A and B are shown apart, each in its own frame.
Chain A
């Protein structure tokens, strides 16, 4: 669009795309700052003021308790622990006495007393060099906010003030906000901080509304009621948009709706090629609350349930019962479809400090995933027992990550047998026909897929690791990012080899890396004979549309053709050409 048609006040903020789509509307800002009433008391009202404070404390405690229960029930154990600590602070004798004293000696109202005493504590905490202690001041701010808003009868987020279609803006959305938000009224989310995996992002994607995060200081640049355009697909927000810009985005929004609509019509349709070959599309999830999105996008089950969430960001190991409850919930929710639970893939980039393993030792090629589990069976066995116990509540399959060869696979299966024996001895029921699979993500496993196939019921190819290991290209190192090349002939040959070896032995193969959800790869993976594509729920309709619009024969032909090419560049060019010809809109709107 030309410069002069834009409103001169337009400001474009670039953040991280968190959930696709476009929203145009007024913002509602959730502010962290407090507006605290302050007034003097007559001496004879001190007692009733303290009484008012006590009642507010009880109400705040009750409310925190409620949120705690909700979070614990939803398996947000991390969030729940935070609220439990908050409860302890609200019961703190010294804190409470100080506030009583402040009210009585200075003759000020309870809100002002809480703020003054709270600020003293915050000041001490925020001077700490230690990050763990410094973060406490954030918790304390939350406590103070709860108390003051209870006293003044105002919620931090007054839901009655939320008009339909507002874009909610906050520094960051806390678990308590997202529990309380009336989801049907909100058009989009935008936050100052956060990444694709932050709470806000996950919530937005599971609700299917646009969101952008990591916008740095968006809360400081807007006031409630201001109009903005939020482009969640690109992580962009336009403040004070001019008429021309709004018109342009309305057109884009219509296109997006039409695109989404066309994809949603697909939800109920089978995943079948034009010449009648059916394939399975399933979802990768990390949190139980993503199941809503899984069902909503027409996935057939869960092809990868990552289980690290329970182990990171806490001080101790999760208990077997805690894990069991979580796996049971997921299995019941997704039944009769299946869920493939990947055993703990800890170490490497996902690191739990309480295991006491120095970070250098636990590198991407070090002690991680199945290696770590085989070494620390006191961590592994409770997880296996939890999975087995949950298996009677639905259709659960299990798979082991980072298998490098058949000995390791046999060892893992042996530990699984130990867990089964323990349960049998304890008289605890489990599914005796539980399918066991191996993740193929190390070149040595890919090369020996024919040997591994005799030991398992299925394979799941983890392309993210397979690419970095086969090309010796660290995917986290930006200096060599161009070497991380999914189109490299070696990568494609590994995948082809694994699929062929599996089919030779009569077992099925899934793929749960980024490739499965990337429209440019769909036709060649189909052509290679892949049985199951597992991806983020949101991209399922797109991939389904591609599969429904080609014949298996065409796909096989294209695959044969690209397998003869010698460079990643040639392959990529050829595949893009084909995708551009067939699905230009998917490449434009895809996530």
Chain B
């Protein structure tokens, strides 16, 4: 299992479009992926679950991956978060 904590950087946080991007990316990997915030852990391949984390700007989220291509998934998803989902 791989895991790492990230800070949400973009102004709007994990809003609909950003969550959509995240879910689209995580769905590309065969491994299990979870997202955790404030001890709530959800399936990172479900847009509704990701949205329920209510992760606004500056909140800290942990990405966890396990299984095939887990390391690659963590790296690329982490980059997406650090890039602020391509937003300013």
Contacts and interface: CB of A to CB of B under 8 A. Distances in A.
Interface of A: 81, 85, 88-89, 92-95, 121, 124-125, 127-130, 132-133, 136, 139-140, 315-316, 353-356
Nearest to B20: A88
Q: Give the interface centre of B14, B15, B56 by most chain A CB atoms within 10 Å.
A: B15
Given A85-B20, A94-B43, A125-B54, A133 B15 contact: yes
A133 B59 CA distance: 14
Contact of A94 (B11, B48, B88): B48
Contact of B13 (A95, A132, A316): A132
Contacts of B49: 92, 94
B51 interface: yes
B74 interface: no
A315 B14 CA distance: 13
B48 A130 contact: no
5 contacts: A85-B17, A88-B47, A92-B47, A130-B13, A136-B51
A140 B16 CA distance: 11
Given A81-B17, A92-B47, A125-B51, 6 more contacts: A92-B48, A93-B45, A93-B46, A121-B51, A121-B52, A130-B56
Interface of B: 11-17, 20, 23, 42-43, 45-49, 51-52, 54, 56, 86-88
Nearest to A93: B46
A315 B13 contact: no
Given A136-B16, A139-B16, A315-B17, A95 B54 contact: no
Contacts of B43: 93-94
Contacts of B86: 316
A130 B54 contact: yes
Given A133-B54, A133-B56, A89 B13 contact: no
Nearest to A117: B48
A133 B13 contact: yes
Contact of A132 (B12, B20, B42, B48): B12
Contacts of B20: 85, 88
Given A94-B49, A128-B54, A136 B88 contact: no
A354 B56 CA distance: 17
A353 B14 CA distance: 16
Contacts of A124: 52, 54
A546 to B, nearest CB: 48
Contacts of B16: 85, 132, 136, 139
B19 to A, nearest CB: 9
Contacts of A127: 54
Q: Give the interface centre of B16, B42, B48 by most chain A CB atoms within 10 Å.
A: B48
> Which 9 residue pairs of A and B lie closest in terms of their CB atoms, listed nearest first?
A94-B46, A132-B15, A356-B88, A130-B56, A128-B54, A124-B52, A132-B12, A95-B48, A92-B48
Given A136-B15, A315-B17, A353-B88, A89 B48 contact: yes
Nearest to A128: B54
Contacts of B48: 89, 92, 94-95, 121, 140
B23 A353 contact: no
Nearest to A118: B48
B48 to A, nearest CB: 5
Given A121-B52, A315-B17, A89 B87 contact: no
B51 A133 contact: yes
A136 B13 CA distance: 13
A89 B88 CA distance: 25
B57 to A, nearest CB: 8
A121 B46 CA distance: 13
A140 B52 CA distance: 12
A124 B50 CA distance: 12
Contacts of A136: 15-16, 51
Contacts of A125: 51-52, 54
A92 B46 contact: yes
Nearest to B51: A136
Contacts of B14: 133
Nearest to B18: A315
Q: Give the interface centre of B16, B43, B56 by most chain A CB atoms within 10 Å.
A: B16
Given A129-B56, A136-B16, A353-B11, A95 B87 contact: no
Given A133-B54, A136-B16, A354 B46 contact: no
B54 A354 contact: no
Contact of A315 (B45, B52, B87): B87
A353 B12 CA distance: 10
Contacts of A132: 12-13, 15-16
Contacts of A93: 43, 45-46
Contacts of A140: 48
A88 B23 contact: yes
Nearest to B54: A128
B27 to A, nearest CB: 9
Nearest to A123: B52
A33 to B, nearest CB: 22
Nearest to B17: A315
B56 A89 contact: no
B83 to A, nearest CB: 13
A319 to B, nearest CB: 14
Nearest to B46: A94
A354 B47 contact: no
A130 to B, nearest CB: 4
Contacts of A95: 46, 48
Q: Give the interface centre of A85, A128, A132, A139 by most chain B CB atoms within 10 Å.
A: A132
A139 B19 CA distance: 14
A23 B56 CA distance: 46
A216 to B, nearest CB: 28
Q: Give the interface centre of A88, A94, A133, A316 by most chain B CB atoms within 10 Å.
A: A133
Contacts of B12: 130, 132, 315
Q: Give the interface centre of A81, A139, A315 by most chain B CB atoms within 10 Å.
A: A315
Contacts of B15: 130, 132-133, 136
Nearest to B10: A315
Contacts of A94: 42-43, 46, 48-49
